[in-house]
Amino acid sequence: MDEFYDPTPGFVITAKADRYGQGREGESYRQENIAYWSKRAPGYSQVNQEELSGGQRNVWRNLLDGRIRECFPGRARGDIRLLDIGAGPGFFSIILAELGYRVTAVDYTEAMLDQARKNAGSLAGQIDFRQMDAEALSFANGSFDVAVSRNLTWNLNDPERAYGEWARVLKQGGLLLNFDANWYRYLYDAGAKEGHRADREKVRTTGTADDTAGTDVAAMERIARKAPLSLRDRPGWDLEILKGLGMQVHAETDIWKEVWTRQEWINNASTPMFLVCGRKVSAE
């Protein structure tokens, strides 16, 4: 049994470790996630469409392309196989495919992939879309040069297993770029809870568009309470896991300054986005 601290005086959460997401609890969590994100797909797609039609398209494209080119100098983009894990409505897949990378997009829900295909338009034929579990990839070892992900890891049932899978499918020298945040940390941490409250108040007082509008917050919080990373200190946890997998890793905790809009910052100032960057160097 694992014990986790809850800021409520006198309470300790005891949870049975569901190693590798097996068992009834793990399956229940997966099904709840599938139902939630399938329903959320159209609204989430609209967010991606706004990114694709605005300035964020170039912001993210330049950042990702720059990191990949730095890692693989002299390599043609068309020679680089890239895996977008938890692709959702396809934002990363689309901007990377239009640059010429050989993109494979995986997501757990067919509803998200349907939205991704629609958003890709004429680029859809250049992207290999596959419904797949991020914790159990069906690719052979060393299949990809690059793996990218955004706002996925926090939601996984077994993130440690997922990281093992991501490292496995990378080639030697392969690059991992994982963008995430301590989403829903406020459910368990008193300081984060106060920060979240301040964010909601600032959204209200500044008249900023509320990023949670149209979201079933109660349903998402129910899921987040079961997500193991809601309890972890990140990105420190991520770095330790990836180091254990033999990867060279570092975290960039100020990456949000490069990629977030003012609206995103006001909505999420207490939960800044970080980048976990890893390079596969160990022998398989």
Arithmetic mean of pLDDT over the chain: 92
Q: Count the Cβ atoms, other than its own, within 10 Å of residue 210.
A: 14
Q: Pick from 130, 73, 127: which is nearest to 100 by CA?
A: 127
Q: Can you tell me whether residue 150 is helix, strand or coil?
A: strand
150-164, pLDDT tens digit by residue? 999 999 999 999 999
Under the banding of pLDDT at 50, 70 and 90, the label for residue 26 is confident
Query: Mean pLDDT over residues 93-122, rounded?
Result: 98
CA–CA gap between residue 237 and residue 233 (Å, rounded): 6
pLDDT bucket at 214, cuts 50 / 70 / 90: confident
Task: Check pLDDT > 90 for residue 140.
Answer: yes
pLDDT-wise least confident of 1-5, 108-112, 191-195, 234-238: 1-5
Mean pLDDT of 67-75: 97
Give backbone dihedrals phi and psi of 13, rounded to 5 degrees, phi first. -90, 125
Closest residue by Cα to residue 181 from 131, 145, 224: 224
* Matching CATH number, 24-280, of 3.30.830.10, 3.40.50.1820, 3.40.50.150, 3.40.50.620: 3.40.50.150
Q: Domain extents for the chain? A: 24-280
